Structure 1
């Protein structure tokens, strides 16, 4: 009976909960809210804009510092681009198993840069006439020595092949050489553009940047038709609109730049800068000429002739390539990133990704600009540097002395040189 009373007096769960002291479990309340998608885009836009301005200021400072610093910038860009592309296919586990694989990639890069730029470093050096007996053989046999260096790397690569790693090693070898061809070799011709004058470096680079900006603006404004599957956000309307805007921008930019001798004059001294640079006779391509207007346009502009510098016409062709062909360098890079399932090539530039993400179109544009300049603009005049280079590499010491004596006799006959110089050379 007592047990029943005890059982009957059992409290309900609600009563037990009401009578028992309240015990609150510790809870951590986070006041940090995850940023919304709109806020992320806003932050990314701010970072991207700030670093764009930083890059513009840095680029202008490099241009003012002189040609040698612009060449150094191109060299740094090609090295960083090479590193980012090589890292796409890297496999740390296998690279530890094959410790010389990564070093071999850099060896091929150094060999290629030496082959392409070695002669320029020798013959455009300010005191090239003082090349001593140790450096002279390197100058004369530069290409043969470069080939020997490459063959050493090639033989070592074949020797280092290990069973079970063939696919990885040959993949690295192919990507390395693809990058050398598409990046380093094309960057070499960009350096040649700098020697021809900063105009042929600045304008092509600016056209690519302008086209990229206007393609984005025109695309988000009235873009409707997809352009290419590998890059779904690109539209035909943005593609065509950017082409027109880039041509207008190129003509305006070239009209401004041809006013400055520092921009249009060829490079003569590695030490020259915006504060210290030689004057030159402007190339006829930068001087205004009179052109006859086609009959169907005469009624529209009410003019029979027009005064125009030929460079503006050339820039229109450069702008067309920058708008219609150079973007395929970016499409190629997009396909490469999708192959290795990465968003960007790196995070070198905050808000922009890697160097390759910004320079993928510039290499194609730089190579085309060099070929266009050599084919349609350059007068192929001999320079003191080219003649001196030819005399050093092709003439013996006795023939070089004969050349100096003959040149001195010619200058003496014109009353330019002192006869005492001629007598000292004769002895």
Structure 2
């Protein structure tokens, strides 16, 4: 006598052996559904209390997900000797192990590290204009990442102009700062151009007017029940402008003063970061600061010493090339064309006397070798606090990275957190202890335009013409033309 379980197995066997389920015949979905419905109805009528082994496991997927174009699985014998086909349930891929994740992250991080290094050196050797473009892109992306941290709720609060005002204040600030740099370094070009002269002469007033327009628009966009959020956004935006855009402006000025004042500070920060990691994992024991638990005092001090050594040798190399030590006077210059200039005395060997233990010895060394001690010390002992500040900011908002601009590295801001303050220091140090101030053509033209009347300017032209004639630089014809123009006036 057959029991209910045998009847069930016969029904399932008949269903599997039915042509409807054969993969050699064309697929007939309605017939397949009706066959399954008939089989399940017969089983339910035979015995309702029968418990199937698969009932305690996870629920099977729908029929449509079971059927695929793949070849059928190998058959397995049933209890009564019939052969049944296994259902083609797609197997889930095993979760990626922690080791595999770290391996993939390491590969991605390594690849993009070399990509960034290659891109940086290509821009560096291509010319000053490309480095300026690179710095501009970095500061824009960094500003976007920092502002985006606190800008997410603006969509929920239905405030349409929050993001627009952020970008407006960015554009206004960049217009003011870039204009200041261009006017300072290229005034001899701007002040003699009929179109650019009004923009250069009234640059600060134009910049102030643009900012006031944004300020008035912000006040006009204030809404009830959102005052606290809007003023928080206003303050957050201005903090980002100061910490990123303003400091990047001084990095830009370093490029105009000479490529070494841009490259050397950046290289010192990177070197210090590398040696802090190496020294930390080698003999680090004492925690340095709670914001970064992995930072150790031993790694901090060891990196300082290594950075000074690196800075000494790197300075020796860079001082040998005028492309790095000459101020920019041609934005079209690159490493192949080079630059020409009178060297700053800091790059010229000077005699230094050493009297120690009765020894009196004179040796020649470039003063820059002493200045590099200040640069390396700041890059090792002060600049890392820019990274600690960024770490505290990320912990405040409970985020790991500022963004995902660089695969494997996080955002641009995560890589530039120490560079901005280092560039600011390099600008201040250079203009305080290294820069040589002398009258330039642009300064004289600016003084003549802003401080003299037209008649006085013509008198200056006539006097310069006479001086140049006496020096044999101009002909008598040119001198007569200048004199006749002055008399006609």
Question: Which residue of 2 is the match for residue 425 of structure 1?
Answer: 482
Residues 296 and 232 of structure 1, relative CA distance in 2, 3 Å threshold: farther
Question: Which residue of 1 is the match for residue 204 of structure 2?
Answer: 143
Question: Which residue of 2 is the match for residue 181 of structure 1?
Answer: 242
In 2, Cα distance between equivalents of 1:257 and 1:84: 34
Instruction: Provide, for residues 262-304 of structure 1, a one-character-per-residue CA deviation record: whole Å limited to 9, x for no partner.
Output: 1101111222222334311221111222323352697xxxx83
Question: Which residue of 2 is the match for residue 274 of structure 1?
Answer: 335
In 1, Cα distance between equivalents of 2:464 and 2:180: 25
CA contact (8 A) 2:154 2:162 kept: no
- Does residue 374 of structure 2 align to residue 317 of structure 1? yes
Match of 1:214 among 275, 298, 315: 275
In 2, Cα distance between equivalents of 1:24 and 1:53: 50
> Which secondary structure state, in structure 2, belongs to the residue aligned with residue 115 of structure 1?
helix
Alignment of 1:336-375 (within 5 A): 336-375=393-432
Question: Which residue of 2 is the match for residue 327 of structure 1?
Answer: 384
In 2, Cα distance between equivalents of 1:95 and 1:294: 72
Q: CA deviation at 1:392?
A: 4.0
Question: Which residue of 1 is the match for residue 103 of structure 2?
Answer: 42
> Which secondary structure state, in structure 2, belongs to the residue aligned with residue 293 of structure 1?
strand
TM-score by length of 1: 0.89
Question: Which residue of 2 is the match for residue 6 of structure 1?
Answer: none
- Does residue 467 of structure 2 align to residue 410 of structure 1? yes
In 2, Cα distance between equivalents of 1:146 and 1:424: 41
* Pairs aligned (count): 410
| Bigger mean CA deviation after superposition, 238-247 or 86-95 | 86-95
Question: Which residue of 2 is the match for residue 401 of structure 1?
Answer: 458
Alignment of 1:112-151 (within 5 A): 112-122=173-183, 124=186, 127-128=189-190, 130-132=192-194, 134-151=195-212
In 2, Cα distance between equivalents of 1:394 and 1:49: 58
In 2, Cα distance between equivalents of 1:312 and 1:261: 17
In 2, Cα distance between equivalents of 1:367 and 1:210: 18
Residues 190 and 389 of structure 1, relative CA distance in 2, 3 Å threshold: farther
CA contact (8 A) 1:207 1:322 kept: yes
| Bigger mean CA deviation after superposition, 392-401 or 381-390 | 392-401
Residues 104 and 361 of structure 1, relative CA distance in 2, 3 Å threshold: same
In 2, Cα distance between equivalents of 1:245 and 1:294: 28
Residues 422 and 346 of structure 1, relative CA distance in 2, 3 Å threshold: same
Instruction: Provide, for residues 9-29 of structure 1, a one-character-per-residue CA deviation record: whole Å limited to 9, x for no partner.
Output: x9xx99x99569778665433
| Bigger mean CA deviation after superposition, 119-128 or 53-62 | 119-128
**Structure 2 stretches lacking a partner, 5+ long:** 1-46, 54-77
CA contact (8 A) 1:95 1:101 kept: no
CA contact (8 A) 1:126 1:269 kept: no
Q: Over aligned residue pairs, what C-alpha RMSD do you find?
A: 2.6
Residues 176 and 399 of structure 1, relative CA distance in 2, 3 Å threshold: farther
Question: Which residue of 1 is the match for residue 3 of structure 2?
Answer: none
TM-score by length of 2: 0.78
Larger RCO (alpha carbons 8 Å, 6+ apart)? 1
In 2, Cα distance between equivalents of 1:399 and 1:163: 59
Q: CA deviation at 1:127?
A: 4.4
Instruction: Provide, for residues 79-127 of structure 1, a one-character-per-residue CA deviation record: whole Å limited to 9, x for no partner.
Output: 1111110001012553772211111111111111111111333562784
Instruction: Provide, for residues 158-212 of structure 1, a one-character-per-residue CA deviation record: whole Å limited to 9, x for no partner.
Output: 1111011112211111111001111111111111111111111110011011111
Question: Which residue of 1 is the match for residue 356 of structure 2?
Answer: 295
Residues 19 and 202 of structure 1, relative CA distance in 2, 3 Å threshold: same
CA contact (8 A) 2:109 2:408 kept: yes
| Bigger mean CA deviation after superposition, 88-97 or 283-292 | 88-97
In 1, Cα distance between equivalents of 2:454 and 2:271: 52
**Structure 1 stretches lacking a partner, 5+ long:** 1-9
In 1, Cα distance between equivalents of 2:110 and 2:461: 57
In 1, Cα distance between equivalents of 2:90 and 2:244: 53
| Bigger mean CA deviation after superposition, 327-336 or 385-394 | 385-394
Question: Which residue of 2 is the match for residue 264 of structure 1?
Answer: 325
- Does residue 152 of structure 2 align to residue 91 of structure 1? yes
In 2, Cα distance between equivalents of 1:378 and 1:215: 31
> Which secondary structure state, in structure 1, belongs to the residue aligned with residue 91 of structure 2?
coil
CA contact (8 A) 1:126 1:270 kept: no
CA contact (8 A) 2:351 2:365 kept: yes
Match of 1:167 among 191, 206, 228: 228
Question: Which residue of 2 is the match for residue 382 of structure 1?
Answer: 439
> Which secondary structure state, in structure 2, belongs to the residue aligned with residue 233 of structure 1?
strand
In 1, Cα distance between equivalents of 2:456 and 2:110: 60
